[in-house]
Chain A
Amino acid sequence: MPEPQPDHAQWIRDALQTHEHSLLQYAGRLLRGDTDRARDVVQDTFLKLCRQPREKIDDHLAQWLFTVCRNRAFEILRKEGRMTPLNDSDLAVRAAEAPDPAAGALRRDRLSAVVALLGELPERQQELIRLKFHSNLSYKEISGIMDLSVSNVGYLLHTGMRTLRRRLGEMETQTRESLP
């Protein structure tokens, strides 16, 4: 048992409180919905954080956490051979895995429709959009996590959002037309 370090412990506690859900969500997506594994990954991430000196991490805490979490998740996927690296153009034409999630979501509302449509985007764009809008990270942080240039982040995000908007528009038009 290490000596109590109130400041350090408080720092970890705050970090956990702020980022736990967001990291779990992120890890869960990367690990294809395997919540238990996601929990392990996030636990590992924080255990690793415990061993870091605060002054080294504090100014880029979120980025550090998400990067470690991502690397850890990819490590697991690689080990299990579940990694299917796909580039954006491949993914653009790949159908969503769930049976027509958007149509099902329509009865709920527009918010769920957006989330359902998000699932049809290329994986990298999905990851990026989630980091931006769910985890509230900046372009710079995202570029660090995903190993992309900042301008690349901006471009991919913009493209992803446009696609999303276009499909949402199409879907709403269809719904209107299908109404009596």
Chain B
Amino acid sequence: MIDSNDPRLTAYVLGEMTAEEAEEFALLLAGDTRARDEVAAIRDTAAALRQGLAAEATPCLTEDQRAAIHRAAGRRPTPARVRGWRLLAFAGAAAAACLVCVLATHTWRRARVRPGAALEMALSPAPGAAGDEEVKKRAIPTAAAESLTAPALRQDLAAAVERPLAQEAGPAPTASPEAYDIRAIVAAPADGAHGGVPGPVPAAKTWSMRTPDVINGLAPARSRAGGERPAMPSLTGKPEAVAPVRVRREMADAFLALGQATPEREAAPARRLAEDVTEDQAPNREAYDHIRDNPFRNVADEPLSTFSIDVDTASYSNLRRFLSNGQRPPPDAVRIEELVNYFRYDYPPPRDGKAFAVHADTASCPWKPAHRLVRIGLKGRVPEPGARPPANLVFLVDVSGSMRPPDKLPLLVQGMKMLVNQLGESDRVAMAVYAGASGLVLPSTPAGNRGEILAALDRLQAGGSTNGGAGIELAYRVATENRVEGGINRVILATDGDFNVGVTDRGSLTRMIEEKARTGVFLTVLGFGTGNIQDATMEQLADRGNGAYAYIDSEREARKVLVEQVGATLHTIAKDVKIQVEFNPTRVTAYRLIGYENRILANQDFHDDTKDAGEIGAGHTVTAFYEVVPAGTEPPAGIAGVDGLRYQTPRTITAAAAGNELLTVKLRHKQPDADTSELQEIPVPDDSRSWESTPDDFQFASAVALFGMVLRHSPYAGEAGLDMVLELAAPAARHDPHGNRTEFLELVRKAKTLVQR
């Protein structure tokens, strides 16, 4: 008889015996039922402990601490944190081959132990580094100023550096003394030797005056410069995707290196920048791209407004997480269109067999009564129940160490199980994982073998670094191999987005995804967790991969995305859906698109079928708002238009402009497997309706849009605040079968308490 207090029982289970001991003990066990039960129980407890402890939240070292270690190890860290752009940018600057105007956003954590540790890293390519603190203060100014030739340009740039900062100053959303942002504009001189770039100075002026246009203006300017310029990851022709606004630490590091190479100190404004941002604390390693609210546009100059639809909802659930934790979300984490589109609106579905129905209506603008609010609503076709085509799904699960906390991998497993339970006999599921390496943990399996799939999910464990690139390759390969013609072929990527091994720079990742998307396999990105969400990476991957991005912060959200709206999540009914609005100059002076800042398309891209745009799923609704300044109303400041032209007369007005139409909505989409688009046009008359008389859905959606504007500190929110959001939303939240609208009201109230503190 083995006593239950005998520690050998545990040692046996844990493999802590020599081979002979174990053999001997096994013999003893063979004749002892109670001890065998004991062993089984120990096994059980051990497994529970292993899994339970693995699910605990694990902290990470700060990047600077890691950098300090790598430096001490005698070599710069290669795989994880040094991405391609830094070198490219460095080389590019050194060559000074073109005018480079860059808005850099850099979230950078100071080392607790040794301030400036990361900085040393950045400087290491150039010998003779100055003292840490010294360089930190001066690197950017000199980088900005030194490389400029024309004093006038220098001033413009200084002003440009100052302006965004001034606007963004203000209370830090959440406090941690660990991090700060650097935004800088750097210009390298364009001298005659560089292929005759005409007028770099005016160009720079334009960019600095209207920051959103930095995005639009940059791509053509750079391509004009031409030459051997190192190509920064230019993602596609889509203007909003051009790298510079998305530049983060790599570029900033390069600037620091530049500054160090020419250690002169002037450009006081830029130095102030460095000081200001030290106080502007970012919460953690979460990364968001900078968003600037769409400005008002003058209809006489720009009658067309073009954008891609966006069915993502991640920003709302992310915002909910912030508010629930008692923090205001950083303004750049708030994407208004994703807030608005989080909610379900009852637009009538299409009846004529079309992929979707388009609705447009207008009302007075509640936060600016002299303006009109135009709502454009799309509703995807709702397939008959059971008519969903068979699905070939590949789960691609991030099991890296950062996925260990309970709100990541465990929640993910839970969510995936919900999804598996929605699948039918004709569907298939495969599962690949990636961490430091990647592998297929479940070959494509009929969804009928539910037990097998669920067991594979249960076996997932987190550990290691994150090589997303290799995993993506594998997942798409499996999806292609098991392709269902006419069915749903989709990779579902579940991650916190922190790719740190292998292909890590966002440019390469998105290019890779874009290429994969051409195979007809769609992508869904499910974001998980807190603390190091790489929101921008995930959003962009989904955008480029013909897919949607949802952020799962709770079991409830998992249920919404993977159960209630599973049809919309899986079943794409139209792709590359683009909206172009033409405004009638006799009725409208100016307009402003609310949200969709990173979905803006160039007007000519509308009828260019090679240009990618958003997808719409079965039963999905998409809503967009324009704030419109009617003719005869005083135009908003700053859009008075340009001086008269010498060689052209203004456009002539057509007969159609004389009618009651405010605008025409033009819409293009492709069938999921088609290459050419179909066009729909819907003229929208102004019915002079007041906001109060609009349906609940209109009222609620506009309240959500206003909420986003207030949280973003949008200059266009005017005097409106959270009180007005509540006032507008409350009556419209009466009909609320899913409880989402009630929850919204609670979030607004929560936000109010945080603002007033």
Known: A12-B69, A157-B10. A111 touches B16 (CB 8 A): no
Contact B404 A40 (CB under 8 A): no
Contact A17 B56 (CB under 8 A): no
The complex places the Cα of A38 from the Cα of B58 at a distance, in Å, of 11
Q: Mark A92-131, 1 if CB is under 8 A from B, else 0.
A: 0000000000000000101111110010000000000110
Contact A9 B73 (CB under 8 A): yes
Q: Which A-chain residue is minimally distant from B16 (CB atoms)?
A: A139
Query: Which of A8, A21, A138, A162 is B4 in contact with, Cβ under 8 Å?
Result: A162
The complex places the Cα of A114 from the Cα of B56 at a distance, in Å, of 12
Contact B10 A5 (CB under 8 A): no
The complex places the Cα of A23 from the Cα of B410 at a distance, in Å, of 22
Cβ-based interface call for B226 (8 A): no
Contacts of B268 in A (CB 8 A): none
Known: A16-B69, A43-B61. A3 touches B74 (CB 8 A): yes
Contact B60 A111 (CB under 8 A): no
Contact A42 B61 (CB under 8 A): yes
Binds A, one of B45-53, B335-343, B722-730, B748-756: B45-53
Known: A130-B53, A168-B45. A9 touches B406 (CB 8 A): no
Contacts of B68 in A (CB 8 A): 43, 47
Cβ-based interface call for B354 (8 A): no
Contact A1 B71 (CB under 8 A): yes
Contact B52 A39 (CB under 8 A): no
Known: A39-B62, A129-B49, A133-B49. A46 touches B69 (CB 8 A): yes
Contacts of A138 in B (CB 8 A): 16
Contact B41 A4 (CB under 8 A): no
Cβ-based interface call for B601 (8 A): no
Cβ-based interface call for A53 (8 A): no
Contact B58 A25 (CB under 8 A): yes
Cβ-based interface call for A132 (8 A): yes
The complex places the Cα of A168 from the Cα of B49 at a distance, in Å, of 12
The complex places the Cα of A118 from the Cα of B75 at a distance, in Å, of 41
Contact B70 A139 (CB under 8 A): no
Contacts of A158 in B (CB 8 A): 5-7, 9-11
Contacts of B56 in A (CB 8 A): 25, 115, 134
How many residues of chain B have a CB within 8 Å of chain A? 50
Q: How far is the CB of A124 from the nearest CB of chain B, in Å?
A: 15
Contacts of A1 in B (CB 8 A): 71, 124
Cβ-based interface call for B77 (8 A): yes
Contact B14 A132 (CB under 8 A): yes
Interface positions of B from 70 to 86, Cβ below 8 Å from A: 70-75, 77, 79
Q: Which B-chain residue is minimally distant from A139 (CB atoms)?
A: B16
Contacts of B50 in A (CB 8 A): 133-134
Q: How far is the CB of B458 from the nearest CB of chain A, in Å?
A: 11
Cβ-based interface call for B65 (8 A): yes
The complex places the Cα of A36 from the Cα of B45 at a distance, in Å, of 31
Contacts of B14 in A (CB 8 A): 132, 139, 157
Contact A161 B60 (CB under 8 A): no
Centre residue among B62, B70, B74, B464 by max chain A CB count within 10 A: B74
Contact A2 B74 (CB under 8 A): yes
Interface positions of A from 13 to 29, Cβ below 8 Å from B: 13, 16-17, 20-21, 24-25, 28
The complex places the Cα of A162 from the Cα of B11 at a distance, in Å, of 13
Contacts of B9 in A (CB 8 A): 158
The complex places the Cα of A12 from the Cα of B16 at a distance, in Å, of 28
Cβ-based interface call for B401 (8 A): yes
Q: Which A-chain residue is minimally distant from B6 (CB atoms)?
A: A158
Known: A39-B62, A158-B9. A5 touches B74 (CB 8 A): yes
Contact B112 A39 (CB under 8 A): yes
The complex places the Cα of A111 from the Cα of B411 at a distance, in Å, of 13
Contact A17 B61 (CB under 8 A): no
Query: Which of B7, B46, B73 is A13 in contact with, Cβ under 8 Å?
Result: B73
The complex places the Cα of A35 from the Cα of B14 at a distance, in Å, of 30
Q: How far is the CB of A23 from the nearest CB of chain B, in Å?
A: 9
Cβ-based interface call for A165 (8 A): yes
Q: Which A-chain residue is minimally distant from B178 (CB atoms)?
A: A36
Contact B52 A111 (CB under 8 A): yes
Known: A36-B112, A50-B73, A114-B48. A134 touches B59 (CB 8 A): no
Known: A43-B69, A133-B49. A4 touches B58 (CB 8 A): no
Q: Is the interface of A mostly helix, strand, loop or mixed?
A: helix
Known: A21-B60, A36-B112, A154-B10. A118 touches B70 (CB 8 A): no
Contact A43 B113 (CB under 8 A): yes
Contact B465 A115 (CB under 8 A): no
Cβ-based interface call for B172 (8 A): no
Q: How far is the CB of A89 from the nearest CB of chain B, in Å?
A: 17
Contact B49 A114 (CB under 8 A): yes
Contact A111 B55 (CB under 8 A): yes
Known: A13-B70, A50-B72. A40 touches B436 (CB 8 A): no
Cβ-based interface call for B440 (8 A): no
Contact A24 B62 (CB under 8 A): no
Contact A24 B61 (CB under 8 A): yes
Query: Which of A9, A40, A47, A112 is B74 in contact with, Cβ under 8 Å?
Result: A9
Contacts of B464 in A (CB 8 A): 17
Contacts of B252 in A (CB 8 A): none
Contacts of B51 in A (CB 8 A): 111
Known: A2-B74, A5-B74. A164 touches B69 (CB 8 A): no
Contacts of B65 in A (CB 8 A): 39, 42-43
Cβ-based interface call for A85 (8 A): no
Contact B45 A134 (CB under 8 A): no
Q: Which B-chain residue is minimally distant from A112 (CB atoms)?
A: B52
Cβ-based interface call for A6 (8 A): yes
Contacts of B55 in A (CB 8 A): 111-112, 115
Q: Which B-chain residue is minimally distant from A164 (CB atoms)?
A: B45
Contacts of B72 in A (CB 8 A): 2, 12, 46-47, 50-51
Cβ-based interface call for B42 (8 A): yes
Centre residue among A35, A38, A46 by max chain B CB count within 10 A: A46
The complex places the Cα of A127 from the Cα of B1 at a distance, in Å, of 31
Contact A157 B58 (CB under 8 A): no
Contact A9 B53 (CB under 8 A): no
The complex places the Cα of A130 from the Cα of B243 at a distance, in Å, of 45
Contact B73 A8 (CB under 8 A): yes
Q: How far is the CB of A144 from the nearest CB of chain B, in Å?
A: 14
Q: How far is the CB of B176 from the nearest CB of chain A, in Å?
A: 10
Known: A5-B74, A50-B69, A164-B45. 16 other contacts (CB 8 A): A4-B74, A13-B79, A21-B401, A24-B59, A43-B65, A108-B406, A110-B48, A113-B52, A115-B55, A133-B46, A154-B7, A158-B5, A158-B6, A161-B46, A161-B49, A162-B4
* 23 pairs, A vs B, C-beta closer than 8 Å: A2-B74, A6-B75, A9-B75, A12-B70, A13-B77, A13-B79, A16-B61, A17-B465, A28-B59, A39-B65, A42-B61, A42-B65, A43-B113, A111-B52, A113-B52, A118-B49, A118-B52, A130-B53, A134-B53, A139-B11, A161-B45, A164-B49, A165-B45
**CB-CB nearest 10 A-B residue pairs:** A9-B75, A12-B73, A158-B7, A111-B52, A50-B72, A158-B10, A115-B52, A134-B53, A154-B7, A9-B73
**Which positions in A face B, CB cutoff 8 Å?**
1-6, 8-13, 16-17, 20-21, 24-25, 28, 35-36, 38-40, 42-44, 46-47, 50-51, 108, 110-115, 118, 129-130, 132-134, 138-139, 151, 154-155, 157-159, 161-162, 164-165, 168
